[in-house]
Amino acid sequence: MRASELQAKDVVDIADGKKLGTIGDLEIDIEQGMIKALIIPPASRFFGFMSAGEEIVISWAQIVKIGSDVVLVDLTAHVDGSYTSYGISPFSNDAY
């Protein structure tokens, strides 16, 4: 699968059925040669100029299934409770 094919898919949280958006970027671990996380940009309000909210970072371990047109994720699955892979603590004010 190509990155462009992955980015065309909607991302849905299975916990509440909410559509989170589409994948805007990937976080890649170059040393291990694998995708660490999917990054969903904030929703645009006015032709892409204004955004609402913050980007959503989804760990690869939170992905439940990659289907033909949707990526199902479980945001309640806390894989890294201390957020060490992102270099921040869960209660940090300087997150992203």
Parse the chain into domains and list their residue ranges. 3-74
24-63 pLDDT, tens digit per residue, is: 999 999 998 888 999 998 876 666 565 567 888 999 899 9
Q: Is 3-74 a domain of CATH 2.30.30.240?
A: yes
CA dist 45 and 14 (Å) reads 25
pLDDT-derived band at 86 (thresholds 50, 70, 90) equals: low
CA distance 11 to 59: 13
pLDDT > 70 fraction of the chain, expressed in percent and rounded:
71
Which pLDDT score, from 0 to 100, does residue 90 have?
A: 46
Give pTM, 2 decimals: 0.69
